[in-house]
């Protein structure tokens, strides 16, 4: 299974400098992500996070519909108008790696944030793609995460 890619944008009625400062504040961002069960900051740019992930009714095995994901989130670059995150972790016994880039640009009423994400899933999650639409599921989780961050920024 190739890497999964997602992108989108959202507008915030705040100046780009304020949006950039919030997006680089990992302690703020972690609290905005839906379904965070717990987290521990490991410095300004790194956190250990435990998520409860609802995979949905399309997963045929009830015990796998709601799983725990243990991850490390790291701000790997923050300069100019761009913030890059890396997420490494495990869920359902499988490795997950996500790269997220946010680019902030000024617009007439504040800021537009353009985001792109690339996800690499371990073997067990890839095997699940035979039974469920993994791309749709991961896309839904990505959109839920971005929506949580958007709400916090407003």
Residue of 100, 111, 110 whose CA lies nearest to 146: 100
pLDDT of residue 143: 83
Helices (H) and strands (E) in the chain, counts: 4, 7
pLDDT at 127: 67
Higher pLDDT, 141 or 56: 141
Beta bridge partners of 111: 12, 106
Residue 20 confidence (pLDDT) above 80: yes
CATH topology for the 4-153 domain: Alpha-D-Glucose-1,6-Bisphosphate; Chain A, domain 4 (3.30.530)
Taking residue 138's Cβ as centre, other Cβ atoms within 10 Å add up to 20
* Predicted model pTM: 0.85
- HSE toward the beta carbon, residue 42, CA cutoff 13 A: 10
Q: Where are the domains of the chain?
A: 4-153
Place of tokens 């435990």: 50
Structure tokens at 4: 């999964």
Task: Give tens-digit pLDDT for 60-87.
Answer: 666 666 677 899 999 999 999 999 999 9
Overall average pLDDT of the 101-123 stretch: 92
Q: Are 11 and 104 in contact (CB under 8 A)?
A: no
Closest C-alpha among 43, 74, 22, 56 to residue 128: 56
- Please answer whether residues 78 and 97 qualify as being in contact, where contact means their C-beta atoms are separated by less than 8 angstroms: no
């Amino acid at each position: 299974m190739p890497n999964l890619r997602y992108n989108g944008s959202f507008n915030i009625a705040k100046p780009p400098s304020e949006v950039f400062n919030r997006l680089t504040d990992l302690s703020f961002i972690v609290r905005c992500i839906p379904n965070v069960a717990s987290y521990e900051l490991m410095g300004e740019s790194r956190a250990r996070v435990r998520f409860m992930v609802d995979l949905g009714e399309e997963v045929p095995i009830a015990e796998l519909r709601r799983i725990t994901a243990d991850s490390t989130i790291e701000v790997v670059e923050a300069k100019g108008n761009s913030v890059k995150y890396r997420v490494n972790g495990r869920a359902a016994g499988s490795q997950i790696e996500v790269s997220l880039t946010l680019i902030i640009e000024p617009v007439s009423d504040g800021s537009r944030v353009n985001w792109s994400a690339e996800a690499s899933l371990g073997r067990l999650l890839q095997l699940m793609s035979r039974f469920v639409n993994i791309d749709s599921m991961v896309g839904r989780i990505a959109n839920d995460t971005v929506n949580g961050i958007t709400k916090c920024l407003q």
